[in-house]
Structure 1
């Protein structure tokens, strides 16, 4: 693969990651808006139903039709599916308990974790300057989480756990992306969401564990509620934006270097601040702004360092991918 091809793939992946992040931001605000009424697994189940319909009407026709569902790497798809289900669950629990800007900012340690995982699992190169950027981003998370102080909330740990699982999910996507299409990866993610949410709903959907649960788990253990017709447009938005975002993010990490594509998801951060102010009437405090600045700055620094680290080859020179 030539250097020009790598750069072109990275740019396409960055565009996919940016649009996907916008879709996921819509999901975040929708989930938080519904979190006072419905159980988490109920929302995920309805979102998945709409997502399957969207997949059949939009994604499947452009991804090869029925063959999109075929794979020889089912074990990897199931592992990736479990990662994304768990990642979403931890993030959504955090969204229900924290201001949306705080939860999203803490979650955005994920591009930094992806960079670390890309070294461990993919053999991609991360130089000392990018390690320094990663350290700065982690410092931003610590400032926001405030471990060891009276301001610490256990809910602040949830988006961080989500970030690690999310990073692992995309490392798997990068690993199998050479043979598996974004459509195939998206389909098996949908199946994972449907299976887990339906199973959890059948097991605890009556809400029998909710009364004695800690406040941070109420969203997870609440009983299923009758669907309010006024909320149907929100569920439709969740299903469509979720599946489109899932397809685009799978495509991003399938074709681009993981450490390059990841920081472009930061577009969700300013959107989270806007949603918090406009929809929920919350405005970030000083520590949140400091944390956001450090996390965002570290991500942007990684993009800058990435664009400078690979020298331009001679016209007839080929540079081969390390994956």
Structure 2
């Protein structure tokens, strides 16, 4: 895929990052009053309706949903469902910026997985960026200290599932349509949250007291019209963001798109401070800075590699 595709992939990733950051903030806002599966069910229902009524008819019709890789679509969707549930459970207990920062081992995992599973080429500078970024995450998590809690494992698990999701996106994205990549994700979300709601929605397992567990096990309740509007808005946002990030990974190499998702850390810090009075400590600032620097190094090296050469290698993505 030509180098001219790289900026397009970056723009799609930036749009997705902003959209997902707003959604994260809104879900954290709702996390102390509603069940996680209720919020995700509402947003997924909104997303499916939006896709079926508006987006699918405008982007090739229902025939574009046909696929001979349904199994891979469903596995891919299950990975992102798991990533979301782990991530949002962490939001109920940890500051927004910290959850996002820990989650940003995902781009590093994507870089590693893209080499192992997709055969993509990653140079020494990008490997160095991966190492620096992981050091940054360790500064934030600080295993073995009082700052470390079991809840910090949740965004790490989310990152692992998210990386697997995007590697599958890259694997099938060259033959599948954008609308098919987008459609099956909210559909599986809807199915999974329906099952969770039917089994846990009465709140019979709630009452343990831990914010993350309570968020998952809390009973369903009818939301106020204002909160219902927020849930619907989240559904619209996640549909737009899902389409944008799928497109980013379709038109550009996985190891190059990933750094542009780091902007979510900036949004999370701002939202956390302005809306939840959360402010990182010095270790967390240092760790987040290393994560951002690692992303900038990766972008810089890609710009260097994009310069004309006498005998250029195969163009990335």
TM range (shorter): over 0.9
2:102 is aligned with 1:115: no
**Structure 1 SS opposite 2:92:** helix
Deviation at 1:312, TM superposition (A): 2.0
Please name the residue that 2:277 is paired with: 281
Deviation at 1:284, TM superposition (A): 1.6
**How many angstroms apart in 1 are the aligned matches of 2:147 and 2:202?**
34
Which of 138, 144, 147 is the matching residue for 2:140?
A: 144
CA contact 1:112–1:299 (8 Å) conserved in 2? no
CA contact 2:3–2:316 (8 Å) conserved in 1? no
**How many angstroms apart in 2 are the aligned matches of 1:198 and 1:188?**
15
2:248 is aligned with 1:228: no
TM-score where L is the length of structure 2: 0.95
Please name the residue that 1:271 is paired with: 267
Deviates more, 1:29-38 or 1:106-115: 106-115
2:19 is aligned with 1:27: no
**How many angstroms apart in 1 are the aligned matches of 2:125 and 2:10?**
21
Deviation at 1:40, TM superposition (A): 0.7
Please name the residue that 1:98 is paired with: 94
**How many angstroms apart in 2 are the aligned matches of 1:227 and 1:184?**
31
Q: Give the gaps of 5 or more residues in structure 2.
A: none
**How many angstroms apart in 2 are the aligned matches of 1:318 and 1:163?**
34
Deviation by residue 1:204-232 (Cα, 9 ceiling, x = unmatched): 11111112474431111111122111212
2:204 is aligned with 1:208: yes
CA contact 2:8–2:248 (8 Å) conserved in 1? yes
TM-score where L is the length of structure 1: 0.94
- Equivalent residues in 2 for 1:175-186, closer than 5 Å: 175-186=171-182
Q: Give the gaps of 5 or more residues in structure 1.
A: none
Deviation at 1:10, TM superposition (A): 1.4
Which of 182, 188, 198 is the matching residue for 2:184?
A: 188
**Structure 2 SS opposite 1:312:** coil
CA RMSD of aligned residues (A): 1.7
**How many angstroms apart in 1 are the aligned matches of 2:58 and 2:256?**
26
**Structure 2 SS opposite 1:203:** helix
**How many angstroms apart in 2 are the aligned matches of 1:295 and 1:70?**
39
CA contact 2:208–2:214 (8 Å) conserved in 1? no
How many pairs were matched up? 317
CA contact 1:68–1:187 (8 Å) conserved in 2? no
**How many angstroms apart in 2 are the aligned matches of 1:246 and 1:57?**
17
**How many angstroms apart in 1 are the aligned matches of 2:312 and 2:143?**
48
Please name the residue that 2:58 is paired with: 62
Deviation at 1:318, TM superposition (A): 8.3
Deviation by residue 1:287-317 (Cα, 9 ceiling, x = unmatched): 2111110111111111111222355256xx8
Deviation by residue 1:253-278 (Cα, 9 ceiling, x = unmatched): 11110011111111211111111111
**Structure 2 SS opposite 1:7:** coil
CA contact 1:123–1:322 (8 Å) conserved in 2? no
Deviation by residue 1:122-163 (Cα, 9 ceiling, x = unmatched): 111112221111011001111111111122111111111111
Deviation at 1:233, TM superposition (A): 2.2
Please name the residue that 1:39 is paired with: 35
Change in Cα spacing, 1:130 to 1:228, as seen in structure 2 (3 Å) is: same
- Equivalent residues in 2 for 1:284-323, closer than 5 Å: 284-310=280-306, 312-313=308-309, 320=314
Deviation at 1:61, TM superposition (A): 2.9
CA contact 2:169–2:249 (8 Å) conserved in 1? yes
**How many angstroms apart in 2 are the aligned matches of 1:69 and 1:44?**
23
